[in-house]
Amino acid sequence: MDNVTLLGLGIMGSAMARNILKAGFPLTVYNRTRAKAEELAAQGARVAVSPRQAAQGADVVISMVGDDAASQAIWLGEEGALAGAPPQAVLVECSTLSPAWVRELAQRAAARGLALLDAPVLGSKDAAEAADLKILVGGDAAALERARPVLEAISREIHHMGPGGSGAVMKLVNNLIVAVQATGLAEGLTLAERAGLNMEQVASLITSSSPGSPFVKAVVPRMLARDRSQTHFALRWMRKDLTYALRLADDLGVPMPTVAIAREMYRMAGNLGLDTADLARVVDVLRQS
């Protein structure tokens, strides 16, 4: 079986790593904070001390980190994964990144004779744990086929969106729509609460009527619950995604006033100390006003 490397062991990366191990692939992991790798080491993963060491001997190298800066730190430099990846390796960047950086990374990989797929995922914590992600792939079709057995271990659907950068663009399109839905939902629920409506009844009607998208059905209970202990998708990452989407829109001359306004809600959440809180807590921006 292919030797797999996974770089980044946050909420998503750790779940993906466990599923790769369950599928029987030899796995090497790297995380900036080594403690996060100990559980995986107990399950049979090899723990590397640098991205470069982790990538050595790999057939498929997957990165799952937070933003462009973290991706650059993982791939570049003398101890970066690009320096360690062997010529046969397929590089798979699953992080949600700016299309500009993804295309630059693909060029840097190509200069070393390596194929890069931008392959961000749809789905958060629960989907990652259940290997129920959807993967949006940009890049060479032949490289995708080489990586497909590994990607199938962490997902239920793989969509080849087109050339390099296509997966990154589609992920931003998806997330900007989710972000706007979340802010509209937060406003509606806060208005209903302030008006004294029965919130159990409100939730039932919203989730069973025209607003009731799969996302809305999933997030309404989390917005109404007072248990804030779990983070499925942190508010700071949504603000980052909207920033990348707005930069792309500027480059393409596409006006996005609704997205720009929604981003301010996520900026306000950060100002309230909610950066690492779950996406559903965007409602607390309004509750605290």
pLDDT beyond 90 at 147: yes
Residues 119 and 226 in one domain: no
Query: Same domain for 117 and 136?
Result: yes
pLDDT value, residue 229: 80
For 169-214, what is each residue's pLDDT tens digit? 999 999 999 999 999 999 999 999 999 999 999 999 999 999 999 9
Query: Do 200 and 217 share a domain, yes or no?
Result: yes
Please give the structure tokens belonging to residue 74. Answer: 């993982």
pLDDT for position 34: 86
For the cut 80, the answer to whether the pLDDT of residue 226 exceeds it is no
The runs of H, that is alpha helices, within the chain are 11-22, 38-42, 51-55, 68-75, 81-84, 99-111, 125-129, 141-152, 166-194, 199-208, 214-224, 235-252, 257-271, 283-287
Q: What is the pLDDT of residue 6?
A: 98
The answer to whether residue 36 is catalytic is: no
Residues 119 and 74 in one domain: yes
In this predicted structure, the answer to whether residue 35 has a pLDDT above a threshold of 90 is: no
The pLDDT value recorded for residue 289 is 78
CATH number at residue 147: 3.40.50.720
Percentage of the chain beyond pLDDT 90 is 94
Q: Each residue of 77-116: pLDDT tens digit?
A: 999 999 999 998 999 999 999 999 999 999 999 999 999 9
Count up the domains in the chain and report the number.
Answer: 2
Please pick, among 134, 171, 217, 240, the residue that the annotation labels catalytic.
171
- Domain check: are 112 and 49 in the same one? yes
Contact call for residues 134 and 156 (beta carbons, < 8 A): yes
Q: Is the pTM of this model over 0.85?
A: yes
